[in-house]
């Protein structure tokens, strides 16, 4: 099932202009599935980066 989901996400990634990565997490922010193109920096795909962004957005509301 994971392979099928990754295949679907890569298709979505290539069909949406400007989209470089997709990361699916659980409710605690733990990455479950991720896909990225070759232009996405490795640091951007790390869980700590996304948790920082998520907490930063929550504090603004």
Give the count of domains, the chain: 1
Q: Over the stretch 8-45, which tens digit does the pLDDT of each residue have? A: 999 999 999 999 889 888 887 778 898 989 888 777 77
pLDDT at site 23: 87
pTM assigned to the model:
0.66
Q: Which of 31, 57, 27, 60 is nearest to 45 (CA)?
A: 31
What's the domain range around 31?
Answer: 1-59
pLDDT value at position 13?
Answer: 93
Question: 46 vs 51, which has greater pLDDT?
Answer: 46
**pLDDT score, position 30:** 79
Task: Find the CATH number of the domain harbouring 3.
Answer: 3.30.450.30
**CA-CA-CA-CA dihedral for 46, 49, 54, 60, to nearest 10:** -170
Q: Give the model's pLDDT for residue 27.
A: 81
């Amino acid at each position: 099932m994971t392979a099928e989901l990754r295949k679907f996400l890569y298709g979505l990634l290539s069909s949406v202009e400007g989209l470089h990565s997709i990361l699916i997490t659980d409710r605690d922010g733990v990455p479950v599935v991720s896909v990225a193109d070759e232009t996405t920096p490795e640091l951007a795909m790390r869980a700590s980066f996304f948790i920082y962004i998520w907490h930063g957005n929550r504090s603004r509301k």
